[in-house]
């Protein structure tokens, strides 16, 4: 991506902190409380893993195995260490409730969590799936592994109950937790233990460890380890690009779904500056002793100091030798099938904090972000008069953010450019989520026009994704039809590497110049790359 959008994101530090602080909305809002268990009775499901026996339950039409430890608790001496093997257990471990979420502050994703013992995953299988399929090398069901969003600071695997996908597509679903915020991404000299943690990407190492667990164990659940597809939304979308370009993750999956993601990352110098600023806020201002000082602090103190800390993946170490964006641009990534896309109005989710701005305030804000030389042209392309009241400023700023991909390259023109890069090197399918009346993620501003905002497609795939109330329960019949279509497209991609579903609109590769516009009812259809570009004013944003 070049031009105005690149310059604006560079000037703003490529971080989400500004949007989060202004709006109070984080990436991928909505979740149930940690540790909650699904309803439904157990029917004695027993599965053997490499660490011991598990006893699952049946709920929502699927067999569920919840709260499975895929690595040792990253506590004590294992804080800021690469994930270590989980301990074996004797007897049968109950896998009928979710494991604890990783430490995080309160957000749209849920309440504050004070907990470092959190490296758990969940497995959802069709009811009565033949566990004996593990004996045949070519047998077993395809597997979808979901990596949650939340800006690398919030969220959890329990947001993604895979039961509906499992029962619709007859595949296996896995959702995971990984370390977040300062516990997952600090890069301070002397803090990490071992060569693999030199850049502080502990959360990324957790994701790879969960994928290795899948490789070792998924046959016991009736799955095929050679047919694993990974999916991630928002920060989970960043994770998709990082895992595609990470040497330690090579061979752990065969396809990638990237929802509202990008290849965002930062240099070690930038990461260390932000990490040392966090250390100072936590009461460890001396760089020479910061690592030891931080290790001695309780979890609560570290979490208290993290409100303004915004992590990104850091390149320059063995897990990410080069920036993921550079790796993709140069073709140095795993050339696997990619299904990726964006929501039509990504920025409107984050722009609600501007609902009360006047025209002058909005203009001043855009000038502060994009610079005095660029702002007049931007405001001319997004005139105040073209947006309705009473939330004019929020719509204007939200659309500018969407089209420019201001928030770490998520949305609009940067996403289209990334899709074109992938399409030049691997089989790529591009979509735009176009339900412009999807249920809003909150009710803070009566009458606010969310459009198809960031994270609003999630409930169509994962009914458990909520924001204090069920978004799925608010769907109209037409939206339920779109949900069914999307689940079938995703399932087909997991099974074959192609989102081809009999009886649904044909979804061509992006090299055709066509992408799928996902619309309610039976209205999904292909649109041209030129149409998408015009909708998001990409000739303007891509200008050199």
Catalytic residues: 234
Report the side by side order of strands in the sheet with 52-55.
Answer: 46-49, 52-55, 92-94
* DSSP assignment string, 453-478: -TTTTHHHH-TT-BSSSBSGGG--HH
Q: What single DSSP character describes residue 90?
A: S
> What is 107-160 written as a DSSP string?
BTTBS-B--S---EEEEEE-TT--GGGGGSTT-SEEEEEEE--STTTS--GGG-
How many whole angstroms from its chain centre is CA 54?
28
Give the separation between CA 145 and CA 173, rounded to whole angstroms: 6
Cβ(166)–Cβ(142) below 8 Å: no
Structure tokens at 534: 């015009």
Strand partners, 525: 517
Question: In what side-by-side order are the strands of the sheet with 525-528?
Answer: 57-59, 62-69, 120-125, 172-176, 141-147, 223-233, 255-259, 338-343, 428-433, 514-518, 525-528
How far are the Cα atoms of 223, 412, 416 from residue 1, in angstroms, in the given order? 39, 11, 9
The set of residues, in sequence order, having a beta carbon less than 8 Å from that of 422 and lying 6+ positions away, is 328, 338, 340, 428, 510
Whole-angstrom Cα distance, residue 527 to residue 509? 12
Angle, helices 392-404/412-423, rounded to nearest 10 degrees? 20
Give the C-alpha separation, 322 to 320, whole Å: 6
CA distances from 297 to 291, 294, 303 (A): 10, 5, 10
What is the distance in angstroms between the CA of the first residue and the CA of the last residue of the chain?
10
Q: Where do we find the tokens 């659309």?
A: 399
């Amino acid at each position: 991506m070049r031009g105005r959008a690149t310059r604006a994101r560079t000037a703003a530090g490529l971080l989400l902190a500004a949007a989060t602080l202004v709006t109070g909305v984080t990436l991928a809002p909505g979740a149930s409380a940690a540790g909650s268990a699904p309803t439904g009775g157990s029917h004695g499901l027993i599965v053997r893993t490499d660490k011991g026996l598990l006893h699952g339950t049946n709920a929502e039409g699927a067999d569920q195995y919840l709260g499975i430890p895929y690595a040792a608790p990253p506590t004590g001496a294992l804080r800021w260490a690469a994930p270590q093997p989980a301990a074996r257990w004797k007897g049968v471990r109950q896998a009928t409730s979710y494991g604890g979420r990783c430490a995080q502050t309160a957000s749209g994703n849920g309440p504050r969590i004070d907990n470092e013992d959190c490296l758990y995953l969940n497995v959802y299988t069709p009811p009565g799936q033949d566990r004996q399929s593990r004996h045949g090398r070519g047998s077993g069901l395809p597997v979808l592994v979901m990596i949650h969003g939340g800006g690398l600071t919030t969220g959890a695997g329990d947001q993604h109950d895979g039961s509906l996908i499992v029962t619709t597509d007859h595949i296996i679903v896995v959702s995971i937790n990984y370390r977040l915020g300062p516990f997952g991404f600090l890069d301070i000299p002397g803090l990490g233990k071992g060569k693999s943690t030199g850049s502080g990407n502990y959360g990324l190492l957790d994701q790879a460890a969960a994928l290795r667990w899948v490789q070792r164990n998924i046959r016991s659940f009736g799955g095929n380890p050679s047919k694993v597809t990974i999916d991630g939304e928002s920060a989970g979308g960043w994770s998709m690009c990082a895992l595609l370009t990470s040497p330690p993750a090579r061979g752990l999956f065969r396809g990638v779904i990237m929802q509202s993601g990008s290849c965002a990352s930062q240099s070690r110098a930038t990461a260390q500056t932000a990490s040392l600023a966090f250390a100072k806020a936590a009461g460890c201002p001396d760089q020479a002793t910061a690592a030891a000082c931080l290790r001695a602090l309780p979890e609560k103190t570290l979490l208290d100091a993290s409100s303004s800390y915004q992590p990104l993946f850091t390149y320059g170490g063995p897990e990410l030798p080069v920036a993921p964006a550079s790796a993709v641009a140069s073709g140095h990534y795993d050339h696997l099938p990619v299904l990726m896309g964006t929501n039509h109005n990504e920025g409107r989710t984050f722009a609600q904090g501007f609902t009360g701005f006047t025209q002058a305030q909005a203009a001043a804000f855009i000038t502060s972000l994009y610079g005095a030389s660029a702002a007049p042209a931007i405001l001319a392309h997004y005139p105040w008069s073209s947006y309705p009241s009473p939330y004019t400023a929020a719509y204007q700023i939200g659309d500018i953010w969407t089209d420019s991909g201001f928030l770490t390259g998520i949305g609009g023109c940067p996403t289209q450019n990334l899709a074109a890069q992938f399409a030049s090197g691997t089989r790529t399918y591009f979509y735009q989520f176009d339900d412009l009346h999807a249920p809003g993620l909150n009710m803070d501003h009566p009458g606010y026009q969310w459009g198809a905002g960031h994270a609003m497609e999630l409930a169509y795939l994962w009914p458990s994704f909520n924001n204090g109330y069920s978004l799925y329960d608010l769907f109209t019949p037409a939206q339920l039809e779109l949900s069914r279509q999307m689940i079938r497209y995703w399932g087909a991609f997991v099974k074959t590497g192609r989102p081809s579903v009999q009886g649904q609109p044909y979804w061509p590769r992006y090299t055709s110049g066509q992408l799928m516009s996902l619309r309610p009812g039976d209205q999904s259809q292909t649109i041209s790359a030129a149409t998408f570009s015009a909708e998001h004013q990409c000739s303007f944003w891509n200008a050199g």
